[in-house]
Structure 1
Amino acid sequence: MKNLYIRTDEQAQWMEQIEKHKEEFLSEAQIADKQAIFPKKGAAILKKLGYPLITVPKKYGGQGLGTYDMVLIQETIAALDENLSLSLGWTLGVLGELYEKNLWEKEKLETFAEKTNKGIYINRAVSEAITGSPTRGGRPGTQAVRTETGWILNGRKTFTTASPVLDYYLVSAWIEEFKKVGFFLIPHHQQGLSLENTWNVMAMRGTRSDDLVLTDVKLQEEALVELPNHPRGKGINGWLLHIPANYLGIAQAARDYALHFASTYQPNSIQTVIAELPNVQHLLGEIELELEKARLVLYGVAAAYDDKNRRPLLTNEISVAKHTVTNAAINIVDKAMRVVGAKSLQLSNPLQRYYRNVRAGLHNPPMDDMTIQKLAITALQE
């Protein structure tokens, strides 16, 4: 990471802490991808470092860092283990939004802070096979029915990222009596809650985004933490920037590998390393250009979001950052593979992993088509 983007002592300290565990992250990343298992060792290291508290406000016992800090940390981790970064980034995003927007009642936020202070991993369980992406507005098939003492939930959630290490799930469910969707806080050990190993994919294999199955899950009344009439979703959510930060980290890792390869590889058909060849330099230059543009957009938007005076002026910038960075990252990995050539397709080569994993960014929210449409609508309205 260039010093240009490290602005505070806290950021520098996090970079140093991550660097100390660099080899552990790198080693587990290969195993996680090959065996499709969650990088639990890396998750344990980050929890010990206080990672789950990064985006929790200081008044609730957290570190109180902003979206810019989160982006910097996420990109750095992703360059070492993208499965780990994407998986646990959801905890940072969920907690950041939760406390910033006060999505729960004050008493519930304070009670939950006692749990977050111990260092927990949490994610929303929203996606379902029948709805497709939840960002497109489908009504969940998961049902919450009121009982004399609370609620009973039944349903199945897909894409439950980081499921093997989550301490809590925020589960969306349709509440018929309200004719609305509510979110329920459920601990991982809750009776009736189970995981089904359905994650059989070519990309982000280590995220273990398995199915969460809820069978007559009995909950107390207070488990409904986000009331159906809460104005959740109003305004932009800068905490989603953890997603493009992850793919920028992959792009950085691909760039570093290609640069090292070009600087050290010399076939016997030429008198120097391939980095001296004009066509290779052109590819490397294009990679640098794409990286600079993507990074300036991402960090620029994060800085604007953290500025309370500038935040109200933002409209589609979060979506633009995700679209720009993700597509640039895909392009960067492609060019890196062109530099390395056929060797990049070897299963022992990390570039083939980056190539598979970076494409997953297209399927993380917000989707490209929705971003483009919103830009058009905003322009027409203005």
Structure 2
Amino acid sequence: MTSPITLRLAELAPEYDRSAAFPAESLQAVHEAGLLTATVGERYGGPGGRVAETARILHTLGQGDPSVALITAMTLNTHARQAVQPHWPDELYARVLKESEKRPVLINHARVEPDLGSPARGGLPATLARRTADGWSLSGRKRFVTGAEGLDWFLVWATTDEPEPRVGTFLVPGGSPGIEIADRWDQLGLRASGSHDVAFHGVEIPYENVIGLGPHGPAAEQDNRAGAALHLPLAALYLGVARAAQAFFHTFAHSRVPANLGHPVARTERFRRTAGEIEVLLTAAEQLVLGGAALVDAGDTSYTPEQALGARVLADRHSVRAVELAVRLLGNPGLARGNPLERHFRDIQCAPVHAPQEDISLLTIGTKALNGTKAPTGTQAPNGTNSPAGTKAPSETTASGEAQAPTDTKALIV
């Protein structure tokens, strides 16, 4: 049974998709449903929703409007990280929670840069934090800041101008002078996500508005929750999109009665076979994602970060494939702007874009697999060197949910 919040978002989604306007009414509905604060920790009086609960929420919202789901995901992830390991200044986080009782309070990281690309591929931010008499002054430009127009807090990744530069995340109130939407999001999918470029022109913040400030270097050792807490819920979000596409496919199949057939196409072997393939793809992926999330919540140490990455890769592939099958079978009606399947097809193309992308994920998984089956000592690798003890490790997922690439990886624009 479709939930009321899914129905409400689905009702509003077509117009937001057409206009690419900030989906304020939809986010108000998410707030009123109590979902924006579902991961606030029990220590703060919140529900304490964990990875599996986050995945279920985003799966539900993704069926209605994935743009709204993605904006929600960023805020949920912030609260979830704070619940696991408090790192915000106490007074500041208390203020966020108090305001969240009354209205949607949206939070997101601003990390990607025009020259750097995604931090998942390595490199230092060009955004600079200069010391002032009262705090910090931030200047720089960030790309793909989801929900930018409606954010209450930008978590800006920047380098300090100190003699020995440090890197940290600077907590910038959304209404601060000097914040500019520099280039508007105009993409094929997730058009209402408002993932604009944002420029920071000497934005002043207090000295204490910074977290994780320290030398740039490899991320600290992490447990399974760190990467999985973001990868699995994001996979669930796009599985929600695929389920919405499946629902339209079923509706079409039952309602379409060609004159030369005399009964709904749902009764034809071709439609039944495709319906079966779509169901297998989505059910298998949901079992991987939700099952993995449950293992993370249970603290099962046998569930590795590589398994979470693998679940994400397969879920993204299955989601994209399922929607493609539906569109292909419907033909022209599947690509008509007048029905939701065309929008689902555009939105699902965004699934593989989130960092770490598939190539880095597979590199991480493959290196771990090969290192677990090393050749006996003295065995020669094909290149004539001893295998593969000297192989450099690929990206590791950091506590922020980003992936830290090897230091020699070239920064790519993504």
Matches within 5 A, 1:346-361: 346-361=336-351
Could you say if the C-alpha distance between residues 233 and 291 of structure 1 is closer, same or farther in structure 2, counting changes exceeding 3 Å?
farther
Aligned partners of 1:316 and 1:374 also within 8 Å: yes
Could you say what secondary structure the match of 2:156 adopts?
Answer: strand
Query: What's the offset of the Cα at 1:61?
Result: 2.6
Q: What's 2:107 paired with?
A: 122
Which shifted more, 169-178 or 348-357?
A: 169-178
Deviations 1:43-95 (A, max 9, x none): 01112232221111011132101110111111011101111111221111122
Q: Tell me, what secondary structure is at the counterpart of 2:169? A: strand
TM-score with structure 1 length normalisation?
A: 0.90
The separation in 2 between residues aligned to 1:57 and 1:214, in whole angstroms, is 31
Calculate the TM-score normalised by the size of structure 2. 0.83
CA distance in structure 2 between the partners assigned to 1:213 and 1:377 by the alignment: 38
Looking at structure 2, the residues matched to 322 and 300 of structure 1 have their Cα atoms a distance apart, in angstroms, of 12
Comparing 145-154 and 365-374, the one that deviates more: 145-154
When you count helix as a share of all residues, which structure comes out higher? 1
Task: Determine which of 214, 218, 235 is the counterpart of 2:200.
Answer: 214
Q: What secondary structure is seen at the aligned counterpart in 2 of 1:237? A: helix
**Is 1:93–1:242's contact at 8 Å kept on the other side of the alignment?**
no
Q: Which amino acid aligns with 1:124?
A: H
Tell me the secondary structure at the aligned position of residue 52 of structure 1.
Answer: coil
User: Could you tell me how far 1:174 is from its partner in structure 2?
Assistant: 1.0
User: Is it true that 1:274 corresponds to 2:268 in the alignment?
Assistant: no
Residues 181 and 196 in structure 2, CA contact (< 8 A), matched pair in contact too: yes
Q: Which amino acid aligns with 2:140?
A: G
Q: In 2, distance between residues paired with 1:376 and 1:36?
A: 39
Q: Which residue of 2 aligns with 1:10?
A: none
- Aligned partners of 1:371 and 1:122: how far apart in 2? 26
1:81 partnered with 2:65: yes
Return the offset for 1:293.
0.7
Q: State whether structure 2 residue 163 is matched by structure 1 residue 175.
A: no
Say which one has the larger Rg: 2
The superposition leaves residues 300-332 of structure 1 with CA deviations (integer Å, 9 ceiling, x where unpaired) of 110011012x04642312211211111110000
Moved over 6 A (4+): none
Change (3 A) 1:232 1:65: farther
Q: Which residue of 2 aligns with 1:204?
A: 190
Is residue 54 of structure 1 aligned with residue 38 of structure 2?
yes
| 2:48 corresponds to 1:64 | yes
| TM-superposition CA deviations, 1:265-316 (whole Å, max 9, x none) | 11011132111111111111000100111100000110011012x0464231
- 2:280 corresponds to: 289
What percent of counterpart residues are identical? 28
| Equivalent residue letter for 2:187 | V
Unpaired runs of 5+ in structure 2?
373-414
| Cα distance in 2 between the residues matched to 1:169 and 1:233 | 23
| Aligned partners of 1:156 and 1:211 also within 8 Å | yes
Return the alpha-carbon distance in structure 1 between the equivalents of residues 301 and 350 of structure 2: 29
| Aligned-partner Cα distance in 2 for 1:339–1:84 | 28
- Give the superposition deviation at 1:142: 0.4
The partner residue of 2:307 within 317, 321, 324 is 317
Change (3 A) 1:238 1:117: farther
Paired with 1:110 and 1:188, the residues of 2 have a C-alpha distance of 17
Greater RCO, 1 or 2 (C-alpha within 8 Å, sep 6+): 2
Output the CA distance in 2 between the equivalents of 1:367 and 1:22. Answer: 28
- Describe the shift of the 1:318–1:233 C-alpha distance in structure 2 as closer, same or farther (beyond 3 A): farther
Q: Which amino acid aligns with 1:157?
A: K
The aligned counterpart of 1:306 is 297
Give 1:192 deviation, angstroms.
Answer: 1.4
